[in-house]
Amino acid sequence: MSEQDNLQCATESVLDRKEVEGVLSTGFYTNQRPAAAREAQPPPRSQKPAHYKVICISLYNDDLRRLDAMVDSLKARGMTKANRSALIRYALGEVDLESVPRGI
């Protein structure tokens, strides 16, 4: 008897074919999850957060490098929560609209 035959015999003696097919057909190949998994899921959110929105803006590479350097500098000063968004929000609060040039 070859080693392959020995492995096949050992597998057949441990795993009952009908039991394996039953587990696979009811547990793996269905859309239903076990009750414990359904109960463990947090309830779905009913609404998106209203206090912020995720947006996409364009920045020139040089401006982005400058922004990242500023964030890195703030982090080096111990402001561990500094990030691009926080720095842009701070800058928005500091803008004097009267001093903004016309050609922007």
Reading the chain (104 residues) residue by residue, the pLDDT tens digits are 788 777 777 777 777 777 777 777 776 666 666 666 666 777 777 788 888 888 999 999 999 999 999 999 999 999 999 999 999 999 999 999 999 999 98
Residues in the chain: 104
Q: Tokens at residue 51, please? A: 């206090």
User: What's the pLDDT at 61?
Assistant: 97
SS3 4: helix
Could you give the CA distance from residue 23 to residue 19 in angstroms, rounded to a whole number? 6
**pLDDT for position 38:** 62
